[in-house]
């Protein structure tokens, strides 16, 4: 009998509060990406750029971003949820004019992206060979 091992999937979750922590979010994802194990550098750079954009959008609108990263052998899946922080409850969401830019950028650099079913965030997916 042949035993087939399921591909390893690595998942990590973290909350980032405030725009000052977006650089920390980029560093966190960079540390998770196994550049020496096969992810192309341009794909890693696209992932970090897209994470930065969606996290910034969530932080500006809600005060914090809850990020979840799942990494398989040749794919990356990221969820970014707007996490309402107590200080931002009741505060108006600023219209920064960046939403269209973020959407276009994420669409251009990912294989797939969209809104999460609950409407409180987005996901994106990257695949490489």
Task: Residue 44: give its domain's CATH number.
Answer: 3.30.565.10
54 located within any domain? yes
pLDDT at 94 over 50: no
pTM exceeds 0.75? yes
104 located within any domain? yes
Query: Domain of 47?
Result: 15-85+99-127
77 located within any domain? yes
Q: Are 50 and 79 in contact (CB under 8 A)?
A: no
Place of tokens 């954009």: 53
Three-state secondary structure call for residue 121: strand
56 located within any domain? yes
Predicted confidence (pLDDT) per residue in 42-74, tens digit: 999 999 999 999 999 999 888 999 999 999 889
Q: Are 69 and 11 in contact (CB under 8 A)?
A: yes
48 located within any domain? yes
112 located within any domain? yes
9 located within any domain? no
Q: Show the tokens assigned to 13.
A: 């979750």
How far apart CA 119 and CA 129 sit, in angstroms, is 31
Q: Show the tokens assigned to 49.
A: 């750029």
pLDDT at 91 over 60: no
């Amino acid at each position: 009998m042949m035993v087939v091992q399921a591909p390893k999937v690595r998942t990590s979750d973290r909350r980032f509060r405030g725009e000052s922590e977006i650089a920390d979010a980029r560093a966190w994802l960079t540390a998770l990406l196994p550049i020496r194990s096969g992810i192309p550098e341009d794909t890693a750079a696209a992932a970090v750029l897209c994470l930065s954009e969606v996290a910034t959008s969530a932080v500006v609108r809600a005060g914090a971003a809850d990020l979840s990263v799942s990494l398989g052998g040749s794919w990356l899946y990221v969820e970014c949820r707007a996490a309402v922080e107590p200080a931002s409850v009741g505060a108006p969401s600023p219209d920064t004019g960046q939403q269209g830019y973020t959407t276009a950028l994420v669409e251009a650099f990912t294989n797939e992206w969209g809104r999460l079913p609950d409407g409180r965030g987005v996901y994106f997916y990257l695949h490489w060979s």
